[in-house]
Amino acid sequence: MFKSKIWKMFILALAAVMIFTGCGGAKPAADAGSGEAAKEEAKPVVLIYARGADSVSLDPAYVSDGESSKVITNICETLVRYKDGSTEIEPGLAESWEISEDGLEYIFHLREGVKFHDGSDFTADDVIWSIDRQLEGKRTADMPYASFTFEQVATIEKVDDHTVKFVLKTQSTPFMANLAMNLASPIIKEGENPGENPIGTGPFKFVSWKKDESITLEKFDGYWGAPTTIDKVIFKVTKENSVRASELMTGAVDIIDGISFNDVPQLESSGVVVDKANGMNINYMAFNTARAPFNDPKLREAISYAIDRAELVEFLYQGYSDLAKSYMPSFIPGYKEIDVYEYDPEKSMAMLKELGQENLKVRIICYSNPRPYNPAGSKLAESIQGYLAKVGVEATIEVYPWKEYKQKATQGEGDICFFGWIGDNGDADNFLSLLEGINVESGLNSAKFDDEELDALLAKARELPNGDERNAVYGEIQDMLAMKAPWLPLSHATDLVAYQKNVEGYQLHPTGRVYLKDVIKK
């Protein structure tokens, strides 16, 4: 009987276990499922941005190219910054500022509690290190934006740990806008080789760089502002436009730029988003004015008449660029139409004969990869070569990858070269100063144009407040440049970017800035 009771107790216990297991058996499975879901949710959000060329450096003081700027903008920040969709200034690393009555002193009050990616505090010392090295007497020839951005700055001084003071040589209306620019102005921490291992205060921190392949950034958890939802950003290099478009359509990448106009219809029909905006840019042909044969402005004029720019723009850019009729876009304050070089091959040949240049031979250098202002790449040079042949000018073309091309052009190689400019701040000075004599050595002045009259007019315009008087000086400058012809303005490209439908919050900015903090990938 005792054994019987034990057996019954065993049966009841076993039944209870089975009931418990049966009723709760789904719970472990549900927990496992929830765990998997949680794991899925916790999977890092990776955003892949494909572009046509690699960055040159990630130290803001040593670059002038857009590809470097795209990455730097997400790592480093500026004292003041542009509002979304405009070049209006708002606080950045500086939360407030005062300007003296004479316009020569600017005092900036820095945000407290801001951290660099290595965990160190952001202070006035970091602002001074980033900018003081670019001032007159300290900057070097390989700092292309330094004179362009800080020529009017006499000194930068530390008032206290969170206050800095700029003292200017002369009044400078563009100064505040210059401090928001993507190059030269971003603040970077002093360190070993910041060009390849930058430490900033931005929403993303640098992780790695595989040259000519990719640059990887990661979310900075200590960021002072609103955090990003993107865990990792990969800036991928895909040199061919069509391949980059295919990568987007197959889902291999999330965002692309440098879009060939031929690819737009296919991209749109594939279901990806294609954004378009009027570009604050210029695409131009530059003559090497520092030596023969194009140190002669009459010869530059003769060649300019040989180029059918309207046909070229229509053929190469198929409605996605506008013919340039001055040295900057028409919506920039101070713009003046100076379209004096209408296509006239007979006049070109007559001028060449008069100058004794009927058998002129020129060397053209060009970049191989697409640029935002010229997605046609070296096809632009080939088109120019064809027009020159029609007036008896024999032109040879040498094509280089972007980095090597920039070095060649800065060294003054070639009689004719091609460049473009994406406006940094919406000010006329930002475009016209590209031809200032002080910018020859840095390479920003690709025409090597050194003209005292131009330099004096630019200096005058900087000291004037915004308004009719300042705009009139810029009109005078454009008239003068039309006669001296250091460039042949070609076109203003439509800004294009394409991205997957699950990418939200990406905005084209007038300055070409690629800012990914507010992007959401669903």
Residues 310 and 169 in one domain: no
Residues 431 and 309 in one domain: yes
How confident is the model at residue 40, as a pLDDT?
Answer: 55
How confident is the model at residue 231, as a pLDDT?
Answer: 98
How confident is the model at residue 42, as a pLDDT?
Answer: 74
Average pLDDT over residues 503-520: 93
- Beta-ladder partners of 491: 283, 323
Domain count across the chain = 2
For the entire predicted model, the pTM comes to 0.83
* C-alpha triplet 126, 132, 138: angle, nearest 5°: 140
How confident is the model at residue 365, as a pLDDT?
Answer: 98
- Name the pairing type of β-strands 281-287 and 416-422: antiparallel
The pLDDT-based confidence of 24 (bands split at 50, 70, 90) is very low
Residue 375 has pLDDT above 60, yes or no: yes
Average pLDDT over residues 419-441: 94
Q: Which of 13-22, 416-425, 507-516 ranks highest by mean pLDDT? A: 416-425
For residues 97, 100, 102 and 105, what is the CA-based torsion angle, rounded to 10 degrees? -70
How confident is the model at residue 36, as a pLDDT?
Answer: 53
Residues 285 and 165 in one domain: no
The pLDDT-based confidence of 41 (bands split at 50, 70, 90) is low
Residue 486 has pLDDT above 60, yes or no: yes
**pLDDT tens profile 256-286:** 998 888 899 999 999 999 999 889 999 999 9
- Beta-ladder partners of 98: 107
Single residue among 178, 207, 229 that ends a domain in this structure: 178
Handedness of CA 443, 80, 176, 426 (dihedral sign): positive
- Is residue 13 assigned to a domain? no
Percent with pLDDT over 90 in the chain = 83
Question: Is residue 293 reached through a cis peptide bond, with omega within 30 degrees of 0 on the bond before it?
Answer: yes
Q: What is the CATH number of the domain that holds 152?
A: 3.90.76.10
Write 477-484 long-range contacts (CB < 8 A, 24+): 477/432, 478/326, 478/327, 478/335, 478/336, 478/338, 478/432, 479/336, 479/338, 480/453, 480/454, 481/327, 481/338, 481/432, 481/435, 481/454, 482/338, 482/340, 482/341, 483/297, 484/297, 484/300, 484/449, 484/451
Closest among 448, 265, 294 to 360, alpha carbons compared: 294
Handedness of CA 26, 32, 34, 36 (dihedral sign): negative
AA letter at 285: M
The pLDDT-based confidence of 35 (bands split at 50, 70, 90) is low
Single residue among 178, 195, 216 that ends a domain in this structure: 178
Residue 34 has pLDDT above 90, yes or no: no
390 Cβ neighbours under 8 A, 6+ residues apart? 306, 345
**pLDDT tens profile 82-110:** 998 888 999 999 999 999 999 999 999 99
What single-letter DSSP state applies at residue 437?
A: G
Residue 454 has pLDDT above 60, yes or no: yes
Closest among 86, 176, 152 to 426, alpha carbons compared: 86
What rounded mean pLDDT belongs to the chain?
A: 91
Domain coverage including residue 141: 76-178
Can you tell me whether residue 195 is helix, strand or coil?
A: coil
- Is residue 43 assigned to a domain? no
Single residue among 129, 147, 178 that ends a domain in this structure: 178
- Is residue 15 assigned to a domain? no
Residue 44 has pLDDT above 50, yes or no: yes
Residue 465 has pLDDT above 50, yes or no: yes
How confident is the model at residue 72, as a pLDDT?
Answer: 98
Residue 20 has pLDDT above 50, yes or no: no
- Is residue 435 assigned to a domain? yes
- Is residue 220 assigned to a domain? no
- Is residue 80 assigned to a domain? yes
Closest among 13, 188, 33 to 118, alpha carbons compared: 188
Question: SS3 helix, strand, coil % of the chain, rounded to 5?
Answer: 35, 20, 45
The string over 73-83, giving b where at least 16 C-beta atoms fall within 10 Å of a residue's C-beta and e elsewhere, is bbbbbbbbbbe
Residue 8 has pLDDT above 70, yes or no: no
Q: What is the CATH number of the domain that holds 316?
A: 3.10.105.10
Residues 291 and 172 in one domain: no
**pLDDT tens profile 132-166:** 999 999 999 899 999 989 999 999 999 999 999 99
The pLDDT-based confidence of 369 (bands split at 50, 70, 90) is confident
Can you tell me whether residue 282 is helix, strand or coil?
A: strand
How far are the Cα atoms of 57, 150, 153, 432 from residue 136, in angstroms, in the given order? Answer: 22, 8, 8, 21
Average pLDDT over residues 105-124: 98
Residue 52 has pLDDT above 50, yes or no: yes
Closest among 50, 45, 499, 47 to 271, alpha carbons compared: 499
Residue 7 has pLDDT above 90, yes or no: no
Average pLDDT over residues 412-440: 95
The residue among 88 and 37 whose pLDDT is bigger is: 88
The residue among 6 and 509 whose pLDDT is bigger is: 509
Average pLDDT over residues 446-471: 97
Percent with pLDDT over 70 in the chain = 92
* CB contact at 8 A, 287 and 445: no
Residues 299 and 416 in one domain: yes
The residue among 463 and 14 whose pLDDT is bigger is: 463
Residue 27 has pLDDT above 50, yes or no: no
* CB contact at 8 A, 187 and 111: no
